[in-house]
Amino acid sequence: MDLSASIPPDLQPFVTESLASGRYKSGQELLCDALRLLADHEAEDEAQELAILQEAIDEMDSGVPGKPLQQVVAEMSEKYGLRREP
């Protein structure tokens, strides 16, 4: 698969400096590293969301009357800094 990408003007100085510093040997290497970091970040977000759901399930399974599930999910999302998409 052959992809090409345009770098937005606000990111061009970062790319130029990263390549000039020798940290990355090529734009492709920099882009691959950026994509790995993005994939890791998304995996962490997913793990946090699963932890929130598991905590809510565990609370419900405990048999102790508590808060409504939507409230628990909202509080946990806020606690862990997760963005909720519609």
What is the value of pTM for the model shown? 0.59
Confidence (pLDDT) at 10: 96
Per the domain annotation, does 41 fall within a domain? yes
Integer Cα distance of 78 and 17 in angstroms = 36
Q: DSSP letters along the chain, please?
A: -----PPPTTTHHHHHHHHHTTS-SSHHHHHHHHHHHHHHHHHHHHHHHHHHHHHHHHHHHT------HHHHHHHHHHHHTPPPP-
- Count the domains in the chain: 1
Domain span at residue 70 reads 12-80
Q: Which of 37, 35, 27 is nearest to 7 (CA)?
A: 27
Tell me if 47 sits within 8 A of 60, measured CB to CB: no
Confidence (pLDDT) at 50: 92
Per the domain annotation, does 69 fall within a domain? yes
Confidence (pLDDT) at 19: 94
Confidence (pLDDT) at 84: 60
Q: Which residues of the chain have pLDDT under 70?
A: 83-86
Per the domain annotation, does 56 fall within a domain? yes
